[in-house]
Amino acid sequence: MTRQYTVIDLFAGAGGLTEGFLRHSFNTVAHVEMNQYATQTLETRLLYYRLAEVGMKDFYYQYFSGEISRDDFIAGCKEHRIDDTGVNHCEISEKTESGLIRSVKKRLKEEGEKSVDVIIGGPPCQAYSLVGRGRAKDGMVNDPRNLLYLYYLKAIRTFKPKIFVFENVPGITSSLKGKVFEDFTRKIGEMGYCGDPKARILNAADFGVLQNRKRIVYIGWKKGLNFDYPDFQVKRSEYNVGSLFDDLPDLYPGEGSNDPQEYLTNASSGYLKETGIRTDEPVVRNHFARNHNDRDRDIYRRVIRRWESQHERLRYDDLPEKLKTHKKRKVFTDRFKVLDKDGYSHAVLAHLAKDGHYFIYPDSKYARSITVREAARIQSFPDSFLFEGPRTAQYVQIGNAVPPLMATGIAEEIKKGLDQN
């Protein structure tokens, strides 16, 4: 496969954005990610693509299906000299930035690339999130993550990409009373980049994802480039969340496994086939349900039945006193929420790692929260995408990711723009 344009992915996470650019034949020469498990997930996925390109996808599926360990998988890739993924497992900071720049420059040289076409990514969104700021006593004013965007700017100043894609939560526009976004925009202009409009709030649902997930996507390009902010075609799906789960093994709380399991049925919904979420492999991974106590399961059933019978969200104050354990009852009154199986999901969040109350599986028979694989499907990750690490880490990776279908749509338009130039 010819990979025409070069990409650097900063704050890469598990690789949701990278996945979209790989699907359009971009050469993702370097990635930077500080989380250990997200780094492993990203490495595994990049090796999947490298193996596929040399006709060795079966070797990946030996690992995926549990026939060999991860150590054996990595060793086998090294034997075939396809283990260099360009992933830097490192926090981006004042101490590390010089070393990271040297590492990326070395990687570019090794790949025979003289320049960078695109820089993608976005710093952790917790400090910019309205919910996160609302929970913190100081409104996250003193959170050092507020300033991580400066390292993104440093990368643009250093590598001078033709185009960059900066993704984050809409709350970044009001972070530190708007100073973060104002400073980012001003400095981008000073470095010779433009765009009109420079940023838009995009909804993943408009890219075919079965989830209402709004994110700000800032796209900048060098002045003089024949480019404009893409007019993304709306591609809303006629399917619903219920069509995502029918072929997955039925699970009660505590059931399932991180290891391979057979699908419940060979048949799958048209959505799963059209999007490539369901793969040809006979097994699925990362499908295991967390345990829940009887009180929470009782609440889950009440939440599900209220939604099914009245299409209303059950508020915390609506619960019987015996089921209320939180003293603060005037905030986060919708702390329990079932997925709408007849519509689109609400935004999948990293908070899933904590308790799952906000993402209840839409069937009172099972009375549980969604599994990692179910969350991954809502985010449009293909079943062949393996998440590494313990379950809590997998939830965090998925909740923080850009949905691959959305990333694919963005990458398609970026490629068109580069082709024109």
Range of the domain at 205: 5-235+401-420
Which residue among 77, 90, 125, 194 is the active-site one? 125
Residue type, 388: E
Q: Are 213 and 403 in contact (CB under 8 A)?
A: yes
CA distance 130 to 398: 20
CA distance 81 to 112: 17
Q: Which pLDDT does position 396 carry in this prediction?
A: 97
Answer yes or no: 125 catalytic: yes
To which H or E segment does residue 194 belong?
A: strand 193-194
Cis peptide before 249 (omega within 30 of 0): no
Orientation of helix 57-64 relative to helix 70-79, angle to 10°:
170
- The tens-digit pLDDT sequence of the chain (421 residues) is 566 899 999 999 999 999 999 999 899 999 999 999 999 999 999 999 999 999 999 999 999 999 999 999 999 999 999 988 999 999 999 999 999 999 999 999 999 999 999 999 988 855 444 444 344 444 444 445 568 899 999 999 999 999 999 999 888 887 777 888 888 989 999 999 985 557 899 999 999 999 999 999 999 999 999 999 999 999 999 999 999 999 999 999 999 999 999 999 888 889 999 999 998 888 999 999 999 999 999 999 999 999 999 999 999 888 998 998 877 766 667 889 999 999 999 999 999 999 999 999 999 999 999 999 999 999 999 999 999 999 999 999 999 999 999 999 999 999 999 999 8
Task: Identify whether residues 24 and 152 lie together within a single domain.
Answer: yes
CATH number of the domain residue 268 falls in = 3.90.120
For 345-386, give the DSSP string: BPPP-GGGGTT-TTSB-S-TTT--BPPHHHHHHHTT--TT-P
Strands 287-288 and 256-257: antiparallel
Residue 299: CB atoms within 10 A of its CB come to 24
Select from 210, 340, 356, 211 the least CA-distant residue to 289: 356
Task: Identify whether residues 169 and 140 lie together within a single domain.
Answer: yes
Residue type, 86: G
Task: Identify whether residues 115 and 142 lie together within a single domain.
Answer: yes
Select from 194, 21, 23 the least CA-distant residue to 116: 21
Tokens representing 251?
């699970």
Task: Identify whether residues 387 and 415 lie together within a single domain.
Answer: no
CATH number of the domain residue 59 falls in = 3.40.50.150
Task: Identify whether residues 188 and 258 lie together within a single domain.
Answer: no
CA distance 414 to 352: 32
Q: Are 89 and 41 in contact (CB under 8 A)?
A: no
Task: Identify whether residues 383 and 263 lie together within a single domain.
Answer: yes
Task: Identify whether residues 330 and 359 lie together within a single domain.
Answer: yes
Query: What residues contact 365, with CB distance under 8 A and at least 6 apart?
Result: none
Q: Between the CA atoms of 19, 21, 25 and 30, what dihedral angle is there, to the nearest 10 degrees? A: -90
Task: Identify whether residues 227 and 252 lie together within a single domain.
Answer: no
Residue whose structure tokens are 């010089």: 98
Task: Identify whether residues 222 and 341 lie together within a single domain.
Answer: no
Task: Identify whether residues 105 and 249 lie together within a single domain.
Answer: no
Rg, Å, the chain Cα set: 22
Query: What residues contact 22, with CB distance under 8 A and at least 6 apart?
Result: 28, 49
Strand, helix or coil for residue 33: strand
CA distance 73 to 53: 17
CA distance 326 to 232: 44
Measured over all CA atoms, what is the biggest interatomic distance in the chain, rounded to whole angstroms? 66
Structurally, the chain folds into a number of domains equal to 2
Task: Identify whether residues 183 and 163 lie together within a single domain.
Answer: yes
CA distance 372 to 378: 10
Q: Which pLDDT does position 175 carry in this prediction?
A: 74
Task: Identify whether residues 309 and 231 lie together within a single domain.
Answer: no
Strand partners, 203: 214
